[in-house]
Amino acid sequence: MLDQSNILIDVHVHTDPDRVKQEIRNGLLSSPKKLPTKYFYDDRGSALFEQICELPEYYPARTEFQLLKNTADDVVAQTGADTLVELGSGAATKTRVLFDAMSRAKQLRLYVPFDVSEGIVRRVAQELVEEYQGLQVHGIVGDFLAHLEHIPEGGKRLVAFLGGTIGNLGPEEALAFLSSIYEEMGHGDFFLLGVQLTTDVNRLEAAYNDSAGITETFNKNILSVLQSVIGAEFDLDAFEHIARFNHEQHRIEIYLRSRRDQAIPIPELDLHLRLHEGEEILTEISTKYTRPQVETLLTGAGFSPVEWYTDPDHLHGLALAKKR
């Protein structure tokens, strides 16, 4: 039950330390070595991502913001939603555009921010109940790949997955994830998916290699998070930030490249991690889509596409879909 503050927060992370250790161990033992992207996002990582969204090179955030501004009233009218569930909600900066439209339509009742980063879910919940009178917030601190069943039922729901975060998943994982969202939704619920579109490679690579070095700090934050999660002591200066476009897979790939041969004991994982000079650990993929690819993905997961919105330069897409 929501208390007098109109806020309820359920926490589902930290409940299975063995699973956490297993997934990090599996990633470090795979070839190439990789780490789950969600480990960027402790409180510091979430704050760094907010800074990235303000960078001149990082066009996706402001493009999606503007696109939402132009389309939010239409989305709200088409969906009739009074409940907004947002996966990977982060700072909910752009979400406020949807809230404003829901408020104008006198339809704003409940917000369900769902994010792996506990600090930001709590902060956003507090901010939003203060900003939007009468709004109830039921936050879920969880892994959207594991804890979707904890999304509360009821209301006319719009489930939003913005920021191009779908691009962090490989093709099979993305389809499986959208299918699991579909399963959790009720008939008549709508889904709003924000995707980054394929565009000029120079522009794409610049967005992940900003001149202020914030993306590099964000990338290295994953090593600091691992320090607190599994006690692994990394020398951050021994790694270099790499972001490049993979033409075959239509995605930016972000790596930490070892500057030297190194061996890092990780007793909690029963692992002695060895990296040779130049070896790369994959920390994030950011897949860029075309409209037909997005529609194939949505219909493959069961959804009926309803509307497609894009900006004049076709940098970003918002796909509105419905559970059949």
The binding site for ligand SAM (CB under 6 A) comprises 37-38, 41, 46, 49, 53, 61, 88-90, 93-94, 115-117, 143-145, 162-163, 165
Bond before 312 cis per omega within 30 degrees: no
* Distance separating alpha carbons of residues 101 and 123, to the nearest angstrom: 22
Return the residue matching tokens 């402001």: 62
Give the shortest CB-37-to-ligand SAM separation in angstroms.
6
Query: By the 8 A CB rule, do 191 and 320 touch?
Result: yes
Closer by beta carbon to ligand SAM, 94 or else 138: 94
Closer by beta carbon to ligand SAM, 108 or else 124: 124
Closer by beta carbon to ligand SAM, 196 or else 258: 196
Beta bridge partners of 99: none
Give the shortest CB-196-to-ligand SAM separation in angstroms.
10
Closer by beta carbon to ligand SAM, 90 or else 317: 90
Tell which residue, 208, 185, 184, has the closest CA to residue 196.
208
* Distance separating alpha carbons of residues 123 and 121, to the nearest angstrom: 6
* Distance separating alpha carbons of residues 16 and 22, to the nearest angstrom: 10
Closer by beta carbon to ligand SAM, 93 or else 299: 93
Closer by beta carbon to ligand SAM, 136 or else 165: 165
* Distance separating alpha carbons of residues 226 and 40, to the nearest angstrom: 9
Q: Which residue is nearest to ligand SAM (CB)?
A: 163
Give the shortest CB-91-to-ligand SAM separation in angstroms.
6
Give the shortest CB-39-to-ligand SAM separation in angstroms.
9
Question: Whats the size of the chain, residue-wise?
Answer: 324
Closer by beta carbon to ligand SAM, 6 or else 196: 196
Closer by beta carbon to ligand SAM, 173 or else 235: 173
Give the shortest CB-44-to-ligand SAM separation in angstroms.
12
Tokens of 77: 């009218």
Tell which residue, 165, 106, 118, 128, has the closest CA to residue 7.
128
Give the shortest CB-145-to-ligand SAM separation in angstroms.
5
Give the shortest CB-324-to-ligand SAM separation in angstroms.
26
3-state helix vs strand vs coil in the chain, percent to 5:
40, 25, 30
CA distances from 287 to 14, 144, 247 (A): 28, 18, 10
Give the shortest CB-208-to-ligand SAM separation in angstroms.
12
Tell which residue, 143, 166, 159, 178, has the closest CA to residue 110.
159
Give the shortest CB-62-to-ligand SAM separation in angstroms.
11
CA distances from 241 to 29, 222, 319 (A): 21, 12, 32
Q: How does DSSP classify residue 32? A: S
* Distance separating alpha carbons of residues 143 and 130, to the nearest angstrom: 26
Closer by beta carbon to ligand SAM, 33 or else 147: 147
